[in-house]
Amino acid sequence: MDIKMPPAARNPFKKGFLDLPKLLTIPKHIIYLFVTYLLGILLFTLFRVILLAVEYKHLGDIPGPERLTILLKAFFMGFRFDTVISGYILFIPLLVLSITSSLRIDNKIIYRFIFVYLYISYLFAFLVCGIDIPYFNHFFSHLSSVVFTWIDDAGFLLKMIFQDFKLWWGFIPFIIFAVAYYLAAKKIARKTLIERPLPTSKSKAAYLAVNIGLSLAAVVVLFIGVRGRVGEKSPIKIGTAYFCDYAFANQLGLNPVYTFFHSYINSLQAENKSIHLMDSQKAIDNVRKYLNIPGDIQQQSPIARNITPDQPALNANVVLIIMEGLSAAHMKRYGNPDNLTPFLDRIADRGYCFDNVYTSGIHTFNGIYAALFSYPAIRKQHPLKTVSMKKNSGMAAELRKHGYSTVYFTTHDAQFDNIGGFLRANDFERIVSLADYPGDKSRSTLGVPDDFMFDFSMPILDDLAQREKPFLAVMMTGSNHRPFIVPRYFKPRGKEEEKQIVEYSDWALQKFIRMASRRGWFKRTLFVFISDHGLAINAVYDMPLNLNHTPFIIFSPRLIKEGRRFTCLGGQIDVFPTIMGLLKYPYVNNTLGIDLLNEKEKRPYIYFSADDKYGVLDDEYYLIVREERNPGLYKYKTGDPRDYLSQYPQKVEIMKAYAESMFQTMQWLIDNHWD
C-alpha cells in the first residue's frame, strides 16, 4: 500500500530550524572578507618576492643546501606578519558587516563604504611596502618612524629617489598593484557582496543564529590572526621573525607596515622618549673624566677605549647564569638568617665575590641588556624592542671575534620581551627556549623548571666543547618568579612558598655545577652568577636597595685558585668588561662598564634605575632622584630613613652629575647609532 505523506513530512529540511542547506550557507560578508584577505596576502607576498629579487645578493650568505628551506620559512613567517596587518585592516569591515547582516540590512551604500575603506587601507599598506624596498636597500632595515625626521627634506628626498632608477623598484610595483587591487577588489565586491542577495530562510531565528555564530567564529579567527600566535604568553613580535643565523632571511619575513607602526607607537610612549638631563657634550666630557679616558685617544666613539692585556689569553669557556629575581638579601652572606642559598654562599667563598654590585634596572630585559652589553637602563626605555634590531658592542660579539660559539638558554618563551630576536641579531648563534623542550615539561607561564633547563643544556654544551673551540653560554633562569612552582621531587626545608622557591633555585644551580664538574670542559670554564634584578625585601626607601643589590660571583675551581672578596662599587654594566679582563682578550670597550678586577678602574658611585626613579650610591650615602617628587639623600648603611638632602646639597649635585652624565651619554650613543 502506497502511503502518501504531506510535503513537509516527506522533506523535513524544507522549513525553519531544519532547513539545513540554507542554515549551512556561509554569510556573504564572510565570503567577501575572506577573498579580500587572500588578495591582500597575495600582493604582500609579491612585494616580498620583489624585495628578494632586489636583495638577491644576500642569498649568497646562506649555504646552498639550506637556502630553499630557510627561504620557505622566511615566507611562512611573512605570511604570519602579513596576516597580522590584514587582520587589523579587516576588523572594522567584519564588525560593521556582521551587524548589518544580522539585522538583514542589505544596503549598497554601506557596501560601497566598506569597499572604499578597504581599498584606502590596503593602498596605504602597499605604499609602505613600496617605499620599504628602496629604504631596505639603503639601510638593510625595514621602514620605521624615523622617516618622519626627513619631512623637512622631502623635496630633496623625492629628487634623490627619482634620479636613481634603483630606487624605483618600490614605486613601479606599487602603482601596478594599486591598479590590480582596485580591479580585482571591485569584482570581488560585486560578485560576493553587492549582487548576491541575503539568504531567504523563512525562520528569522535560524538565520540570526547561523549568522551570529559564523560571524563570531570569524571574529575569533581574526583575533588569532592579529595576535599571530596561538597559546603563547605574548603576541607575535619583531623578534619572532629572527629564526636563523642569516640576517636577510630573518628580515625577509617582516611586514614593513608592521615595523613602521610598531616603531611609531613605541616612539609615542613616554618610556621611549629620549632623555635630556644635561647638555650631551658636557655629559660626554664628564664621562671621559670619570672613566679616565685619555684625551688623545681617537676612536669613532668618544668613550671607546682600546683594552690591550699584557698577558696571554685564557681561552676559557664562559657560562653566565642570570638568576631570576635573586637578591643579595636572599643570601646568608648578606644577612639572611634562613640559609636559603647554601650553594651560592659556599661558592662565594671559593670564587671571586663582589659584594657591592647593583643591577641596572628592575626588569629582566634591563638585566640581560646590562650584563651582556654593559649599558645602563634609562627610565622606561626598552632597548630590546627596537625595530632596527641594532647590533651592540657586547660579550657575544667580542667573543665570537675570538672564535667562540655562543648560545642562550631560557626556561620560557624566547619572544617574551623580544629577548630571543634581539639576541639573535646580536651574535647569539642559537636560542634554546620553551619551543625546544618537550611540551609536557612546561609547568607555568615561565616554562620549564630551572633544573630541567640545566639538564637539557648538558648535551648541547658537550657538543659545543667537542668543536675544539671555547663557548659562551648564557642561561636565564625562571623559577624564582611568580607563579612559583616548586617541583615535587625537591623537598624544601622552609614552609613559605617565597622561601621554598629560593631554596629550589639554589639547589638547581648546585645540581648544574655537579653535572658540569663531570665534564671534560669544566676545568676550562668560568661560571659567572648574577641576578637580572633583586626583590624588594626589607624596603626602607621608596626605591628599595634590595631590588637592585645582586650577588656577582665568578667561580672556577681550576682557574681561580683562591677565593677573594671585593668591596668596590660595581654594577651589572661591569660584568662584560670584568669577564673580558679575566679572559685577557684585546678589545675595544665602547661601553659605560669597567673591569672591576683592574685596580686602575674604580667607581666613586654606582647608579641604577627603577623606571621613573634612579638611584646613586657611594660608600655612605644613597641618593634617590624621582620624577614626581624631590630627591632624597639617605645613610643607607644603617638603614637610616632620614633625608639628609638639605644638609649636603653639594654632595647631591655631585652624585646627580655623575649619574646623569652617564645616562645622557648613553642616550647620545643611542641617538647617534654608536655601538
Q: What is the per-residue pLDDT across 540-566, written as a single tens digit (0 to 9) for each?
A: 888 889 999 999 999 999 999 899 999
Rounded alpha-carbon distances, angstroms, from residue 299 to 307, 341, 376, 589: 13, 44, 21, 11
- Which residues in the chain are classed under CATH 3.40.720.10? 310-593
More confident residue, 593 or 298: 593
* Residue 192, all three cell numbers: 560576493
pLDDT more than 70, % of the chain: 89
How large is the average pLDDT for residues 293-304?
76
E-assigned strand segments in 585-672: 587-589, 606-610, 613-617, 621-626, 632-635
pLDDT at 388: 55
**Alpha-carbon gap, residue 152 to 228, rounded angstroms:** 36
Contacts of 273 (CB under 8 A, 6+ apart): none
Residue 99, exposed/middle/buried by CB under 10 A (0-12, 13-18, 19+)? middle
How large is the average pLDDT for residues 568-580?
97
How large is the average pLDDT for residues 395-420?
93
More confident residue, 494 or 159: 494
**Residue 182 clears pLDDT 90, i.e. is over it:** yes
113-156 pLDDT, tens digit per residue, is: 999 999 999 999 999 999 888 878 766 778 877 666 555 445 54
**Residue 158 clears pLDDT 90, i.e. is over it:** no
pLDDT at 135: 79
Q: Residue 91: CA atoms inside 13 Å, Cβ hemisphere, count?
A: 13
Instruction: Place 18 in a pLDDT band, splitting at 50, 70 and 90.
Output: very low
For residue 355, which amino acid is it?
A: D
What is the torsional sign of CA 409, 410, 412, 417?
A: negative
**Residue 20 clears pLDDT 70, i.e. is over it:** no
CA angle at residue 289 from 286 to 291, to 5 degrees? 110
Can you give the three-state secondary structure of 419-460, one letter per residue? HHHHHHCCCCCEEECHHHCCHHHCCECCECCHHHHHHHHHHH
Q: Over the chain, what is the mean pLDDT?
A: 88
**Residue 160 clears pLDDT 60, i.e. is over it:** no
pLDDT at 146: 63
More confident residue, 138 or 210: 210
How large is the average pLDDT for residues 90-113?
92
pLDDT at 15: 43
Which residue in this structure is represented by grid cell 638639605? 646
Which residue in this structure is represented by grid cell 579580500? 36
pLDDT at 144: 79
Are residues 97 and 106 in contact, defined by beta-carbon separation less than 8 angstroms? no
**Residue 45 clears pLDDT 50, i.e. is over it:** yes
Contacts of 622 (CB under 8 A, 6+ apart): 541, 545, 615, 616, 633, 634, 635, 636
Instruction: Place 336 in a pLDDT band, splitting at 50, 70 and 90.
Output: very high
Q: Residue 562: CA atoms inside 13 Å, Cβ hemisphere, count?
A: 1
* Residue 374, all three cell numbers: 654593559
pLDDT at 593: 97
Contacts of 387 (CB under 8 A, 6+ apart): 141, 142, 144, 238, 259, 262, 263, 266
**Residue 40 clears pLDDT 70, i.e. is over it:** yes
**Alpha-carbon gap, residue 415 to 242, rounded angstroms:** 10
For residue 612, which amino acid is it?
A: D
**Residue 474 clears pLDDT 60, i.e. is over it:** yes
How large is the average pLDDT for residues 491-510?
96
The correct answer on CATH 3.40.720.10 for the domain covering 310-593 is yes
Instruction: Place 200 in a pLDDT band, splitting at 50, 70 and 90.
Output: low
Single pTM value for the model? 0.80
Beta bridge partners of 566: 354
Long-range contacts of 233-236 (CB under 8 A, 24+ apart): 233/412, 233/413, 233/416, 233/445, 234/413, 234/415, 234/416, 236/80, 236/81, 236/84, 236/415
Instruction: Place 233 in a pLDDT band, splitting at 50, 70 and 90.
Output: low
Comparing 156-160, 239-243, 413-417, 664-668, which segment has the lowest mean pLDDT?
Answer: 156-160
Instruction: Place 488 in a pLDDT band, splitting at 50, 70 and 90.
Output: very high
Instruction: Place 21 in a pLDDT band, splitting at 50, 70 and 90.
Output: very low
240-261 pLDDT, tens digit per residue, is: 888 887 878 988 999 999 999 9
**Alpha-carbon gap, residue 25 to 199, rounded angstroms:** 8
How large is the average pLDDT for residues 368-395?
82
* Residue 79, all three cell numbers: 605570511
Most confidently modeled range among 3-17, 91-105, 319-333: 319-333
pLDDT at 11: 43
pLDDT at 14: 44
